[in-house]
Amino acid sequence: MPSSTPDARPSVWRLVAWPAAITLAVTILRLTGELFKWSPALFSREAGGGGALVGIAWLVPLFGIWFEVTLHRSGEPKPRVLRGLGIVVAAFAIVPAAGAVIFRLQSQIAQVTLFALVTLVPVAIAYRAWPALGRLLLVYGFAARVPVAIVMLAAIFSAWDSHYALPPPQFPQVGPLALWFFTGLLPQMTIWIAYTVVFGMLFGLLSAAVSYRRQG
C-alpha cells in the first residue's frame, strides 16, 4: 500500500534521475546523428532543429504522464484537475498574447530577451496548477536543458555542422559568446523551461484525470 506520509515519498531528485538520464542520452544521440550526417528526417541540422524526430522536446508529454503516475503511486493527494487545467490554459494564453506584441520589435535580440523574460510568467502560473508535479517538471526541465546549453556552447565555439550552432534566420552578426547567450543559454533556461512545465503539466493533469477516475 502506498504511504501518504511525506517522509515515505521518494525525493524529487530520485524521481527525476531516470528521465534526466534518458533525456541526456537522446541529446547525445541527436548531436551524434547531426555530426555524422545521419537521416535529416531524424537528425535535422537546420536552424531550430527542423522538427526532427529525434529530440528531447517530444519527451516532455511522456514524462509529464510518467511523473503523474509516479506521484499517484507514491500516495500524492489527488489534484483538482479541472482547476489545474484552467490554470494551464491561462498560462498558455500569455504566450501568444505577449508574442503578438514582442515580435513587432525590429531587433531580434530584443525579441528573444523580452520573450524569454515573459515566459517566466507561464512557468509560475502553470506550477500552481499542481505544485507536486510542478516541482518535478521544473527540476527535470533544468536537468534536461543545462546539458543542451553546454552542447550549444561547444557547437558554437567549434563551428560544428549542427543545429546547435545555428542562430535563427536573419539573426544579427554577433560574437560567439553573445550568440550562445542569446540563442543558447537564455532560451534554454527560460523558454524551454516554460515549455517543459506548461506542456508537462497539461499531460500530467490529463493523466491524473484518468488515474484517479479509475481509483474512484
What does the pLDDT look like over 14-67, one tens digit per residue? 999 999 999 999 999 999 999 999 999 899 999 888 788 999 999 999 999 999
In a 3-state reduction of DSSP, which class is residue 129? coil
109 inside domain: yes
Residue 1: per-residue pLDDT:
41
203 part of a folded domain = yes
Return left, alpha or beta for 116; rule: phi > 0 is left, psi -120 to 50 is alpha, else beta: alpha
What per-residue confidence (pLDDT) applies to 85? Answer: 96
Q: Is 1 within a domain?
A: no
For residue 59, the enclosing domain spans: 6-215
Task: Classify residue 192: in a domain, yes or no.
Answer: yes
pLDDT of residue 62: 97
Is 178 a domain residue? yes
Considering the domain boundaries, does residue 143 fall inside one? yes
Asked, for residue 122, whether it belongs to a domain, the answer is yes
Comparing CA positions, the residue from 52, 200, 194 lying closest to residue 121 is 194
Q: Structurally, how many domains does the chain consist of?
A: 1
pLDDT per residue over 33-45, tens digit each? 999 999 998 999 9
- SS3 percent helix, strand, coil of the chain, rounded to 5, is 70, 0, 30
pLDDT at 199: 97
Instruction: Look at residue 9 in the predicted model and tell me its pLDDT.
Output: 64
Which regions in the chain score pLDDT beneath 70?
Answer: 1-9, 212-216
pLDDT (0 to 100) of residue 3: 45
DSSP state string for 148-165: HHHHHHHHHHHT-SSGGG
Instruction: Estimate to the nearest angstrom the gap between the alpha carbon of 69 and the chain centroid.
Output: 19
In a domain, 147, yes or no: yes
**Residue 178 carries which side chain, given as an amino acid letter?**
A
